[in-house]
Amino acid sequence: MAPRLSGFIIVGVAMLLPLMWLPGLITGRNAVALFSQYLGMTAIIAMAISQLIATRWWGVERLFGPLDQSYRLHKWLGLWALAATFLHDTVDADIEGPDGRTVLAEIAETAGEIGLNGLLILVLITVATFVPYHLWKWTHRFIGVFFILSAFHYLFIEKPFSNTDALGLYMASVCMLGLIAYAYTSAPRRFRPARRYRVEHLEQHGDALAVSLVPQGRPIRHRAGQFCFVSFADLGLSEPHPFTLSAAPDDDGRLRMSIGPLGDYTIRLMSRLKVGVDARVEGPFGDFSKARGEQIWVAAGIGITPFAAMAGTLKAGEGPITLYYSVKDRRRAAHLEELEAIAAQHQNFQLVLRETTVDGRITPSEIIDQAGSLKGKHVLYCGPSAFRKTLWEELREHGLSARRFHYELFEIRTGIGLDSLFNFILNRSLKAAQAARENQRSDG
């Protein structure tokens, strides 16, 4: 799924806008240097929009698409900024004023160099998803510092127009937008809009802990399939983590999230949560449940959470929907009883439980065979990314269009394939080392 078209239009227009003024400045100047300056401007525009997306402000999802998709745009904008800054640095952009370079311009030049190198390191850490999350998170907060250096470089470097000309004012506003967005994302969390909730009830559902939250003021309004960022400062867990709301929205604003033991944080949270603990809830975000008509839902493990909420809102005449729910065994399945009850109640909702320890993993071919034709159907998937890839490849071969394949991966930080490259190099090196050792042994 790609970010929203409006997002691409905003990015395209914002990046092309300087071209309204730049051609008029070519006469008597070095066109290559001017083009290099334009590349530098696009880098600043990309960084500013990227900072804007990171704020998660109201309206960001409407313009750029649901958060997981807009974060993908955020990543590609970062990569563009890096590539454009690199080219700008390589292709001579010097346009000196009549009195030569001023001291301020010299300082701005140095700021630009530091900005480029800093950006290079941080963007590489971002796309190299094998770098541990917490190290990435810690380093990523400095990206705004390099944006500030780049903006300073742009504002005070020699250029063929002034900061008070139309182009200068446009670029100054872009810099200001990026700075405000960065200041907001770096500010203490208490300045960000969030709603207060309290843990009302805890219940183990298979492997997952279902946490019911009751509002302590105005509740959030969400649709089934959406997620929130939740933090529990009382438990020493004040970093917000994303969790899907696993129950259909209810009138008194109660929320339910279901936490699976996925890693360090979730295991710690599951063991520390108690009734009466306060929670901060930011959101809602996402737009997973927008498909209508005939649908196939595929959930793996804790990936059942959005479907549990969506099944709870089913109305007569909707669908038909078949939910494939893949778990190790039925004792470990979350929300199985409530899904079975919904299936018993609604003719248009069929539940297919797949116990992988009994029947092995479900394959895309089985789903396709049982569905017959995929024509007119939407497929929604939530679970590990490896299964998403094989599922999508086979579905595409059977004629499903990308528009009809929707997924939620429980991952916000996505790479650009460097993990596979890293694994490939590592495997090759290990094999080469093993071969060398065997050769040595046979020689000896």
Ligand X SMILES: Cc1cc2nc3c(=O)[nH]c(=O)nc-3n(C[C@H](O)[C@H](O)[C@H](O)COP(=O)(O)OP(=O)(O)OC[C@H]3O[C@@H](n4cnc5c(N)ncnc54)[C@H](O)[C@@H]3O)c2cc1C
Give the Cα separation of 145 and 124 in Å (integer). Answer: 16
Note whether 264 binds ligand X by CB under 6 A. yes
Q: Which listed range, 3-11, 264-272, 348-356, 359-367, lies at the site for ligand X (CB under 6 A)?
A: 264-272
Binder among 44, 302, 380, 391 for ligand X (CB under 6 A): 302
Note whether 242 binds ligand X by CB under 6 A. yes
Note whether 325 binds ligand X by CB under 6 A. no
In 3D, which of 285, 306, 244, 290 has the Cα closest to residue 60?
Answer: 285
Ranked by CB distance to ligand X, the top (closest) residue is 263
Note whether 265 binds ligand X by CB under 6 A. yes
Instruction: Closer to ligand X by CB, 37 or 129: give it.
Output: 129
For residues 149 and 23, the answer to whether their CB atoms sit within 8 Å is no
The strand pairing partners of 215, in sequence order, are 197
In the β-sheet with 405-408, what is the strand arrangement from edge to edge? 349-355, 321-327, 295-300, 378-382, 405-408
Binding map of ligand X across residues 60-79, x = CB under 6 A, - = no contact? --------x-----------
**HSE-up of residue 355 (Cα within 13 Å, Cβ side):** 9
> Least distance from C-beta 413 to ligand X, angstroms?
5
Burial of 27 by CB count in 10 Å (0-12 exposed, 13-18 middle, 19+ buried)? exposed
Instruction: Closer to ligand X by CB, 243 or 349: give it.
Output: 243
Q: How many beta carbons lie within 10 A of that of residue 53, not counting itself?
A: 24
The strand pairing partners of 230, in sequence order, are 241, 281
Note whether 126 binds ligand X by CB under 6 A. no
Instruction: Closer to ligand X by CB, 359 or 411: give it.
Output: 411
Instruction: Closer to ligand X by CB, 397 or 411: give it.
Output: 411
**Size of the residue set binding ligand X (CB under 6 A):** 24
> Least distance from C-beta 378 to ligand X, angstroms?
19
φ, ψ of residue 203 to 5 degrees: the values are -150, 130
Note whether 411 binds ligand X by CB under 6 A. yes
Instruction: Closer to ligand X by CB, 291 or 302: give it.
Output: 302
Note whether 227 binds ligand X by CB under 6 A. yes
In 3D, which of 242, 171, 443, 206 has the Cα closest to residue 338?
Answer: 206
Query: Which residue type occupies 44?
Result: I
The set of residues, in sequence order, having a beta carbon less than 8 Å from that of 304 and lying 6+ positions away, is 246, 258, 325, 333, 334, 335, 339, 382
> Least distance from C-beta 357 to ligand X, angstroms?
21
Burial of 168 by CB count in 10 Å (0-12 exposed, 13-18 middle, 19+ buried)? middle
> Least distance from C-beta 286 to ligand X, angstroms?
6
Instruction: Closer to ligand X by CB, 38 or 410: give it.
Output: 410
Note whether 212 binds ligand X by CB under 6 A. no
Note whether 266 binds ligand X by CB under 6 A. yes
Instruction: Closer to ligand X by CB, 151 or 291: give it.
Output: 291
Note whether 381 binds ligand X by CB under 6 A. no
In 3D, which of 176, 242, 247 has the Cα closest to residue 214?
Answer: 247
Query: Which residue type occupies 393?
Result: E
Binder among 59, 100, 188, 263 for ligand X (CB under 6 A): 263
Binder among 16, 262, 341, 402 for ligand X (CB under 6 A): 262
For residues 321 and 314, the answer to whether their CB atoms sit within 8 Å is yes
Note whether 413 binds ligand X by CB under 6 A. yes
Query: Would you tell me which residues interact with ligand X (CB under 6 A)?
Result: 68, 133, 227, 239, 241-244, 257-260, 262-266, 302, 305, 408, 410-413
